[in-house]
Amino acid sequence: MPRAAVVGAGMTEFGIHDIPLEELFAEAAFGALDDAGAEPADVEALYFGNAMSGQAENTTHLGPKVATHAGMAGIPVQRFEDACATSANAFKNAVAAVEAGVHDAVLVGGVERCTPETGRDTAAMTRVFASASHRQYEQPAGLTFPGVFALLTKRHMYEHGTTEEQLAHVAVKNHGHGALNPRAHFGKEVTVEEVLDGPVVADPFRLMDCCPFSDGASAVVVVSDELADSYDAPVDVTGVGHATDVVPIADKPTPHVTQAARDAAEEAYEQAGVSADDVDFAEVHDCFTGAEVLASEALGLVADGEGGPAAATGRTARDGDVPINPSGGLKAKGHPIGATGTAQVVELTEQLRGEAGARQLPDADRAVAHNLGGDAATTVVSVMEVRG
Partner 1 sequence: MSDGLTHAAWSDALREGALLGGACDDCGATVGTPKAACPHCGARGLEPVELPTAGTVYTETTVEVPPEGIDERGYRVAVVDLGAARVLGRLDGAAEIGDAVALAGHVEDEQGYVVPRFEPA
Report, in Å, the least distance between residue 153 CB and partner 1: 9
Applying CB under 8 A, among 79, 155, 169, 175 the residue interacting with partner 1 is: 155
Close Cβ partners of 72 (under 8 Å, ≥ 6 residues apart):
29, 40, 43, 46, 107
Report, in Å, the least distance between residue 151 CB and partner 1: 5
Does residue 158 interact with partner 1 by CB under 8 A?
A: yes
Report, in Å, the least distance between residue 138 CB and partner 1: 6
Active-site residue among 134, 185, 335, 370? 335
Residue whose CB is less far from partner 1, 146 or 334:
146
Contact track, partner 1, 183-202, x by CB under 8 A: ----------------xxxx
Closest listed residue to residue 130, CA positions, set 87, 84, 62:
84
Report, in Å, the least distance between residue 133 CB and partner 1: 9
d(CA 264, CA 388): 24
DSSP tag of 360? P
d(CA 216, CA 36): 20
Say whether 210 is catalytic: no
Residue whose CB is less far from partner 1, 247 or 330:
247
DSSP per-residue letters across 19-49: S-HHHHHHHHHHHHHHHHT--GGG--EEEEE
Say whether 335 is catalytic: yes
DSSP tag of 177? H
Cα–Cα distance list, 377 to 111, 136, 243, 259, 305 (Å): 22, 17, 8, 8, 21
Active-site residue among 84, 114, 211, 287? 84
Does residue 326 interact with partner 1 by CB under 8 A?
A: no
- Omega of the bond leading into 323 within 30 degrees of 0 (cis): no
Where on the chain is the footprint of partner 1 (CB under 8 A)?
A: 122-124, 126-127, 130, 134-144, 146-147, 150-152, 154-155, 158, 199-204, 246, 248-251, 255-256
Query: Could you give the residue numbers annotated as active site?
Result: 84, 335
